[in-house]
Structure 1
Amino acid sequence: MPSDQRARAQAAAITPGGPSSTPEPTAADRITALFGGHRLSPGQRRIARYITDHLTEAAFLSITDLAERAGVSQPSVTRFAVSVGFSGYPALREALQPIALSAIAGTPDTGGSARGNELQSAVDAEIENLEQLRRVLSDAERIVTIGRELARSVPLTVLGLRISESLAEYFAYAARRIHPDVRTVTRGGSIAYDTLFQARAAGGSWVLAFGMPRHAHETLAAIRAARGAGLKVALITDLALGPLTDEADLTLTAGTGSRLVFDSYAAPGVLSAALLQAMADADPQRTQSRLEDYEHAAELHDFFLED
């Protein structure tokens, strides 16, 4: 089936076809079905958001007008249309117009309601990611094993480039409370190589790498450099298959929220905390000693405000 036909079928699949107890899908539901399941860049999500929020107008705009309203270039609109399964913008507009007309004929949501529903939909998607992670963690042996290996690696290197830097910094900040030597790699290129080679020379055996979308070439290069230096790689990412997972020794997956302009990371954050727990449990005496030392220093130097 050609891509345009597949996309139209996706949009029409939830259109009511007869008497049913299932509530009739709204225009917003149909737009979500049309755009959902596609990995979009932040710029493309701006286009999707504009169309969703201004459907009855956007479905009839020229490519020039839509690009101007969404604040993007005309080629960006074309790439967006292709990304969601159409041959180009005219085919996408053809699929949008019946949905817009049905919204006009019915009682379309107000702008505020549509925006609220969109944000709630993003939360719902993250809840689904957390439910999936909960099922994965029902068998905890894998994460216990990885936590044990990371706890034994001295030094332990944590790698996170570009958007993954925040997850790497969070993990490393907490891991330093329970591990004697945690090093971070948040810049690619030769700086990453230096840190990785030095960690291996100092006796390290593992790298924990974060690889979140959009997956960067420099992340793949750094993982390969780690493997070349003799380090093993544990990877936290959103995909079970791909170039990053091909290079990793062990992989843990957690879905990212992609309903908003920028991804959200509820499930990877929880997975990171679970892995920190596994590291703490792997060496309870060291964990207890280091946490007590830290609390003593925090009290001595008055790190925190009193509750």
Structure 2
Amino acid sequence: MTGGYHGGLERLLGGRRLSPVQRRIAHYLAENLDEAIFLSSVELAERAGVSQPSVTRFAMVLGFAGYPELRQALRPLVLGGPPEGPQETLLRGAIDSEIRNLTAVRERLAAFPLKELGAALAATEPLPVLGLRVSCGLATTLAYYARRIHPDVRLLTHGGSELVDGLHAAQRAGAEWVVAVVLPRYPSEAVQALGYAEKLGLRTAVITDKPGFPAEVVLDAPVGDRLVFDSHAAPLALAMALVEAMADAAPLRTQARLEEYERMTDETGTFLSGDPA
């Protein structure tokens, strides 16, 4: 969360992973540090739109006994002279962070088993794709594009018995793999589902942000945490690279299915032929 932060405030945050409420407080401090160093915890809570106990917990997360101690540490950052380093807007800082995340993925591409995994997923039929809660969006995107080149992709985005039924049905139909998207905050049900899938004999591949995630194959890409809620540019790029690897693994099938899809969309007028304007 570098946008608008003084260098000293960045050091206080120390790369800690903050909750959405705590990020609201951090964002307010970043944009209003000159004023915030004179506010009480109640006043800061009102300005940031959070509860007073949340301000206290925020201070304790940063290693202080309470908010008064945090305020004492913040005051020299303003009263002691001009801020260190260039001042960025919050959004510019968030975008810069995503650029770094994408660069990290680019530099590690050779380390990912994309070709081998793409071939395995292209060969398994059906292909279950799992994603719960916030991971549902990326899993849906992955499944949407995979369906253009794979004959049977089954999207699993609901938990409970429906998720268990979906894994069972895929395994009975001949599936050998399940690919999952599991991003923070990590749903416990998704982790349990992957363990259950392994008991069914399915091999597991996961797109996540942690290299040590419990799965046979892990494709990890950092998420953006500079805004109140995470952004997933790097995991999305990795997911699209995986679909590309699936397409490359079965080139004739890919070509045939894409041509069929184009004919269908042309015949049905699915998409506009020109600009929306």
- Residue 164 (structure 2) aligns with: 193
Are 1:204 and 2:175 an aligned pair? yes
Find the residue that maps to 1:154 and give its secondary structure.
coil
The ranges of structure 1 where at least 4 consecutive aligned residues each deviate by more than 4 angstroms after the TM superposition are: none
- Residue 227 (structure 2) aligns with: 260
Task: Report the aligned-residue RMSD.
Answer: 2.0
- Residue 140 (structure 2) aligns with: 169
Find the residue that maps to 1:37 and give its secondary structure.
coil
- Give TM-score scaled by structure 2 length: 0.92
Are 1:143 and 2:111 an aligned pair? no
Q: Which deviates the most, 261-270 or 93-102?
A: 93-102
Structure 1 CA distance for aligned equivalents of residues 65 and 220 of structure 2: 32
Q: Which whole-Å deviations, capped at 9, do the CAs of 1:9-67 have from their partners, x for residues lacking one?
A: xxxxxxxxxxxxxxxxx962332332251111111111110111111121222222211
Alignment of 1:1-307 (within 5 A): 28-102=6-80, 105-106=81-82, 117-139=89-111, 142-241=113-212, 245-246=213-214, 248-307=215-274
Shift in Å, 1:88: 3.0
Structure 2 CA distance for aligned equivalents of residues 85 and 238 of structure 1: 26
Shift in Å, 1:90: 2.7
Structure 2 CA distance for aligned equivalents of residues 149 and 235 of structure 1: 14
Shift in Å, 1:223: 1.4
Structure 2 CA distance for aligned equivalents of residues 274 and 37 of structure 1: 28
Amino acid aligned to 1:297: M
Shift in Å, 1:77: 1.6
Higher relative contact order (CA 8 A, sep 6+): 2
Residues 27 and 99, structure 1, Cα contact 8 Å, conserved in 2: no
Residues 77 and 83, structure 2, Cα contact 8 Å, conserved in 1: no
The number of aligned residues is 271
Taking only the aligned residue pairs, the percentage that are identical comes to 49
Structure 2 CA distance for aligned equivalents of residues 170 and 36 of structure 1: 33
